[in-house]
Amino acid sequence: MCGFCGYVNTTKSIDENKIIKDMASTIKKRGPNALNVFVDKKTALGHTRLSIIDVKYGMQPMTKENNGNNYTIVYNGELYNTNEIRDNLISKGYNFTTKCDTEVVLTSYFEYGTDAVKYLNGIFAFAIYNDKDESIFLARDRLGIKPLFYSFNTDLDAELKFIFASEIKAILKHPDITAILDRQGLMELIGLGPAHSPGNTYFKNIKEIKPGYFAIYKNNKLELTKYWDLETKISYESEKQVIDNIHDLVVDATKRQLVSDVGICSMLSGGLDSSVLTKVAKDNINDLTTFSIDYVGNDKDFKSNDYQLTKDSDYVKIMQKFLDTNHKTILIDNTQLFELLNTSLIARDMPGMADIDSSMYAFCNKISKAGFKVCLSGECSDEIFGGYPWFYKEHLSMHDGFPWALSENLRDNLVKKDLLKENELREYVESKRKETLKNVTFIDKDDDFENRFRSINYLTIKWFMMCLVERTDRMSMANSLEVRVPFADHRIFEYVYNIPARLKLGVSKNSNVTEKYLLRKAFEKELPNDVVYRKKSPYPKTYDPKYLRLVEVKMQSILDNKDSKILNIINKDYVQNMLDTHGEALTENLFGQLMTYPQTLAYLIQIENWLNLYNIEIDI
């Protein structure tokens, strides 16, 4: 797993490589094993490498000749069907000099052109430069597990025309790029944060290649094309057929992702998803190490609620004993959690999920320090199998906004008065929701339950899952750790997306909803019953009052400082009332149960730090 960057000038040839080296150095943690650059005419490419497959020979940027043209690739990702593609290309007459998937991606482009992405099973982002016509082909994996950002300057007189990178910080390192928060960025930041609409960021003129898209830059023009999306199809299979197929798909996806020239471990929370993957991994790796996360004092501070009924630690013990793994529990100190708010902000380049990000950063840091480069995670299962309450609770699924937030009033009140027009923020948010749902089609327009589920399913994948995936990628790669997500195999998503909603939830006219019913049934004979039918439990967060005191004191100091940049965009009186009442004045959570009062304060703290650390100009 790696990081890359690149830029293109319009007229001036690049005769030195300092800028591209500086850009690449900002993402060195994504690839600490090597940093290399490539410069040709008006194009520069940079790459940092985390060596996992073909450690000795898989260096990048990688150049290969085909039909008299030289093509150079920078690539971040892992393919899980490398051998099949390579064998097919060899049968067509191509030769390979490495074992790594980078050369397979590049050679696939020789054979299939832009259709090459349709043959790739994996997580990836890459750019391929053609020295003959000076074009660049860029692509991102179907579900957006790997990042790819860019900025395209439409000013005809601009020298820097096109710039791209795995992380925003590399783009900002270029001397011709300025960090700006404009009106749209503000509405993303306050109206949608810590999520953002597909294709956008909080920075003016810095975009992302959307999941399932590729781009072609040529002759100072940029063209974006969608190559994949979830499509509605009719499923005729019986429940048994569906359960058997899900079992086989999950096992196959997981086994494919165990391929590595370095050691692999697994995150284990005691929930269904991580337990399934760990079971498959243990069947194939005898001496498997597993890691779980907890917080200092959570044994006494934990409070059961409707979302988190039970502690992870009890179920981790069940699974560790059942599988006999080499298990390590990582305890996070709550002061450290607060201190890492800045670190996790820099890893994400934007205000994120506050201490939910910080804890993942600390978790990945400990796993990396234990000597691992690759780790399995059960993420991306709830989004496709129906693990969240908004899939079946009508008051959530019928909500006009985003069902994981329900915070329209809070967000309206957070914005400084008169900065936006009345209802402008709500209308922007609703327009983004409707824009996404335009891509959903239905089989029976009269089946309200099915259609509502499908809409929420699509929305969750395109929005909520992306927020979690971004968190995991940035926090792990900031610690030079590759986290693999077997549930995010596009074959699983394509298949499960089209299973009828009632079957997914195990419901009929006379039965209750069972979250992730089909996944539970698929593995109920292979895992302890208590784990299989444990109610969905979210990523754990701290309940320590010490953490709350830390964020309250910090937020108060920001409000008391007349030079705080955040005072230019937030309603100071409203936030002060939040503090004065210790959150009692809040009637909504910023981002569902994941971000309640303490995390809302931490998010605002991150915004202030972001504005300062990134030297952001406010232009609203």
Write out the two tokens for 38: 């490539």
* Mean pLDDT along residues 180-192: 98
Q: Is 2 an active-site residue? A: yes
Distance CA 472, CA 479 (A): 11
Q: What is the pLDDT of residues 86-137, one digit of tens each?
A: 999 999 999 999 999 999 999 999 999 999 999 999 999 999 999 999 999 9
Distance CA 336, CA 522 (A): 40
Percentage of residues in the chain having pLDDT higher than 90: 85
Check residue 542 and give its pLDDT.
72
Neighbours of 432 (CB within 10 A): 21
Residue 353 pLDDT level (bands cut at 50, 70, 90): very high
Distance CA 606, CA 611 (A): 9
Check residue 51 and give its pLDDT.
60
Q: What is the pLDDT of residues 520-562, one digit of tens each?
A: 999 999 999 999 998 877 676 677 788 999 999 999 999 999 9
Stated pTM of the model = 0.96
Distance CA 143, CA 318 (A): 32
Nearest residue to 356 via CA among 610, 548, 539, 586: 539
Residue 169 pLDDT level (bands cut at 50, 70, 90): very high
Q: Phi/psi at 581 (nearest 5 deg)?
A: -100, 5
For 28, which DSSP code?
A: G
Q: Are 464 and 345 in contact (CB under 8 A)?
A: no
Check residue 12 and give its pLDDT.
87
**DSSP, residue by residue, 530-554:** HHHTPPP-PPP----HHHHHHHHHH
**DSSP, residue by residue, 233-269:** ------HHHHHHHHHHHHHHHHHHTT--SS-EEEE--
Q: What is the pLDDT of residues 10-42, one digit of tens each?
A: 988 998 899 999 999 999 999 888 899 999 999
Residue 147 pLDDT level (bands cut at 50, 70, 90): very high
* Mean pLDDT along residues 366-371: 96
Q: Are 76 and 124 in contact (CB under 8 A)?
A: yes
Nearest residue to 53 via CA among 373, 277, 282: 373
Element (H, E) at 38: strand 34-40
Q: Are 612 and 179 in contact (CB under 8 A)?
A: no
* Mean pLDDT along residues 290-304: 77
Q: Phi/psi at 189 (nearest 5 deg)?
A: -65, -50
Check residue 502 and give its pLDDT.
94
Check residue 311 and give its pLDDT.
72
Q: Which residue has the higher pLDDT, 579 or 540?
A: 579
Q: Per-residue pLDDT for 306 more than 70?
A: no
Nearest residue to 335 via CA among 14, 549, 83, 178: 549
Considering the chain, what is the average pLDDT of its residues?
93
Distance CA 105, CA 95 (A): 13
Q: Are 372 and 289 in contact (CB under 8 A)?
A: yes
Residue 342 pLDDT level (bands cut at 50, 70, 90): very high
Show the DSSP H helices in 460-516 as ranges. Answer: 465-477, 490-497, 501-504
Q: Are 395 and 406 in contact (CB under 8 A)?
A: no
Residue 303 pLDDT level (bands cut at 50, 70, 90): low
Distance CA 105, CA 111 (A): 10
Check residue 308 and give its pLDDT.
57
Strand partners, 292: 329
Q: Name 458's Cβ contacts closer than 8 Å, sequence gap at least 6.
A: 230, 436, 437, 439, 440
Q: Per-residue pLDDT for 486 more than 60?
A: yes
Integer-rounded Cα radius of gyration of the chain = 24
Distance CA 492, CA 486 (A): 9
Check residue 89 and give its pLDDT.
98
Q: What is the pLDDT of residues 222-240, one digit of tens each?
A: 999 999 999 999 999 999 9
> What are the structural domains, with CATH classification, of the chain?
2-226 (3.60.20.10), 239-532 (3.40.50.620)
Sign of CA dihedral 176, 182, 188, 194: positive
Q: Per-residue pLDDT for 301 more than 60?
A: no
Q: Per-residue pLDDT for 373 more than 80?
A: yes
Residue 57 pLDDT level (bands cut at 50, 70, 90): low
